[in-house]
Amino acid sequence: MKNCPVCFSEIDKHAVKCPQCLSFIKPQVNEGQFWGTYLMVGGILIGALGYIWYLAEADNFRMQLMNVGMFLAYLGFLVYGFGTFLSWFRSPKEKVVVEEKDVEEKLSPDKKRCFYCREIIDIRAIKCNYCYSFLRKEKGKVVATFIIVSGILILTTAYVLFLAQNLQSEIYIKIGLVIILTGILAFLLTVIKQRYTTPYH
């Protein structure tokens, strides 16, 4: 257990929202999110510098500098996303020695924990009756959205290359569209699967 930093009520140590005062509690940034942010910022700065330099005088070296910047930015985006997925979906490891109140109690088959406040609620609930949060912790939808955003970023890159009159923009457009369509298909399949596997007992 831990105390809410706003109202100091005792809440679950893995909660990201207080069920008493409804305040969001900032989760600890993990290594993936930390280094992913640095890679994204560094890649964007290098890419922007290369793009401005390329507009001043087009040559192969400056184009390669743009490509390096874009690669680092995408790599950072992927690392950040991977770190976020781990923090959201990885089951927290319990310590070997814990206080009795910190022991995770076994839930009955018709119950689940709210992702935000960690209170026990009905498994069919789509909104928590403690913190009033809509429950959207769905791996398939989150991953599909991540894929779609990746495709949009690649299309944005294609537009920048098009403005720089680079022939590689067509390749980026095709890759971006394929990734976006893949993400949309994954999202639809997740929704269909959820509709026919959600318990209604």
The residue ranges of every structural domain in the chain are 29-90+107-197
Taking a C-beta distance cutoff of 8 angstroms, is the pair 112, 121 a contact?
yes
Average pLDDT over residues 178-197: 87
Q: Is 172 exposed, middle or buried (0-12, 13-18, 19+ CB in 10 A)?
A: buried
Average pLDDT over residues 121-143: 82
Select from 144, 180, 146 the least CA-distant residue to 78.
Answer: 146
Of all residues in the chain, what percent carry a pLDDT higher than 90? 20
Q: Which residue has the higher pLDDT, 89 or 128?
A: 128
Burial 46-83 (b: 16+ CB within 10 A, else e): bbeebbebbeeeeeeebbebbbebbebbbbbbbbbbeb
